[in-house]
Structure 1
Amino acid sequence: MKKTTWFILGGLLVALLLAGVVSNFASGSPDGLDSASTKGCTLDENDEITGGSCMAQNAKDAETADSPFADYGISGIGNSYVSTGLAGVAGVLLTFAVGGGLFWLARRRQPAESRE
């Protein structure tokens, strides 16, 4: 195998390990937009709005909220660690497949007469 192939496979392996294992240790705290949108509201222990006035009161679920990969997991899998890890692995593989396919389509091809 060429060095380039080993490099790509090594990078894919690292990405799969990060997505499948390390993703479970990501922060559960809301990101900046979520945090800023709840300023002015009071929240209960489940982060549900119980009073006040804030931008998040008008928020609605996304149209894809019931899709198989919603909320950084795979629906139907009871274990949240396995669900999150598998969703990360599926995302890496899908991204790798799409990116690899685009590179394959865009690669320079040799003219027919130079291949002989």
Structure 2
Amino acid sequence: MENNYLSYYLLLSALLFSIGLAIVIVKRNIIVVLMGIELMLNAVNLNLVAFSKNDPNLQGQMFALFVMVVAVCEAVVALAITLKAFEHFKTVNLDRINELKK
């Protein structure tokens, strides 16, 4: 990757992160919010790999792999919590899940 293309990757990453953040802020469905968080993590991965390609001394691929492993663990735990919340509240709407004890 040449240095000329680094700005395009950073722009794409910023766009993906902004879309993910907008999804997290605006949407009220738990599954859609989790998808927004995953989109933000993928934007960070794109940044890490782009910077790693630009400067070979950085270990961006290793950080990106670590972020992917953390994202998978986060998704598993979040989906388990979502299933338990759905079992208890009978909804995945975040506005209706607003109390800790029912």
Instruction: Compute the TM-score of the two structures, normalised by the length of structure 2.
Output: 0.38
Higher helix share: 2
What is the TM-score when the length of structure 1 is the normalising length? Answer: 0.35
Higher strand share: 1
